[in-house]
Structure 1
Amino acid sequence: MHAAAAPADLPWDWPRPFTLALSPCEDDIDELRHTNNAVYVRWCEQAGWAHSAALGLAVPDYHRLGRAMVIRQAEYDYLLPSLLGDELLLGTWISASDGKLTMRRRFQLVRPRDGATVLRGRWELVCVDLQSGRPRRLPQDFVDVYLPVLVSDEVRVEG
């Protein structure tokens, strides 16, 4: 897994994704000889953390601020299988926020060799206080980092 430039010629749902280059290894393959669904969930988590860190908010910053964005709801559409050794790009975007408590993160897993979308995902996130676990207002650092990179859910190109 490594951050990769997002080729503009791929059929991304939204512009300018943060991307990770991924390839299923032997441990990712299940009894049906394709990438296990749980692997995609793990990859989305890795992409979310990597995107946040690239924007300037890594795990130590969350602890320093005493706040975190946690998943309230997750949804994944498994569209096509991926196989051992497939080269894939996982794109992610922050696509909505109320600027107070919630955000939405989107995912799209693309197979560059044919431009096929393998998976789409969506997380509904809520800001919580790390000590109490209760919802709390987004700290200004979150607002300053996440809101400028929002893409509109309405920009999506259906495909």
Structure 2
Amino acid sequence: MDDWDLPRPFLLRVAPEPGDIDGLDHTNNAVYLRWCEQAGWAHSEALGLSIADYRRLDRAMAIHRGEYDYLLPTQLGDALELATWLLPGDGRLRMERRFQLRRLRDGATVLRGRWQLVCIEISSGQARRMPPEFCAVYLPAAVTPTT
């Protein structure tokens, strides 16, 4: 079960709840987006940057673009593990975050996603250079894809 797309994943266990299931009897696609957001925040906090730090610094890594490949459906009762990674960007303004969601019972990847992130000044919404605190925490945690 260590066959992740990239090394050193940050992992979050998730499972569809009754309200997550849509009319087709599988997890609604919007639920995957919520899980990715939860994993991104949990990873950031585990690295040492919380929402309180973002507010104090008046900076945030905002999603500029999100892409998701829905590969297989999941259903009520499926135990899942969501991996996330930061990838190095330009070291000034941009970074990338990737996701891989796997079903625990068979190891099948059910979703892959990626976010293009840009650092913004929260108070204005304008793109701004990453503060030193972001660089010190995020850049050493970034993994480089082998392909």
Match in the other structure for 1:55: 47
The SS at the match of 2:40 is helix
In the TM superposition, what is the alpha-carbon distance from 1:30 to its structure 2 partner?
0.2
Check conservation: 1:10, 1:115, Cα contact below 8 A: no
In the TM superposition, what is the alpha-carbon distance from 1:113 to its structure 2 partner?
1.3
In the TM superposition, what is the alpha-carbon distance from 1:97 to its structure 2 partner?
1.3
Match in the other structure for 1:70: 62
TM-score by length of 2: 0.98
Structure 1 unaligned runs (5+)?
A: 1-8
In the TM superposition, what is the alpha-carbon distance from 1:96 to its structure 2 partner?
2.5
How many residues are paired up? 147
Q: Find the aligned partners of 1:134 and 1:13 in 2 and give their Cα distance.
A: 33
The SS at the match of 2:31 is helix
Q: Find the aligned partners of 1:120 and 1:27 in 2 and give their Cα distance.
A: 22
Q: Provide, for residues 35-75 of structure 1, a one-character-per-residue CA deviation record: whole Å limited to 9, x for no partner.
A: 00000000000000010000000000000101000000000
Q: Find the aligned partners of 1:11 and 1:33 in 2 and give their Cα distance.
A: 28
> Mapping of 1:68-147 within 5 angstroms?
68-147=60-139
Kindly, what percent of the aligned residue pairs are identical? 62
What CA RMSD, in Å, does the superposition of the two structures yield over aligned residues?
0.8
The SS at the match of 2:88 is strand
Q: Find the aligned partners of 1:95 and 1:88 in 2 and give their Cα distance.
A: 23
Match in the other structure for 2:10: 18
Check conservation: 1:24, 1:84, Cα contact below 8 A: yes
| Residue type of the alignment partner of 2:140 | P
TM-score by length of 1: 0.90
| Residue type of the alignment partner of 2:54 | Y
| Residue type of the alignment partner of 1:81 | P
Structure 2 unaligned runs (5+)?
A: none
In the TM superposition, what is the alpha-carbon distance from 1:93 to its structure 2 partner?
0.1
Q: Find the aligned partners of 1:139 and 1:67 in 2 and give their Cα distance.
A: 8
Match in the other structure for 1:44: 36
Q: Provide, for residues 6-37 of structure 1, a one-character-per-residue CA deviation record: whole Å limited to 9, x for no partner.
A: xxx33200111101101101000000000000
Match in the other structure for 2:23: 31
Match in the other structure for 1:4: none
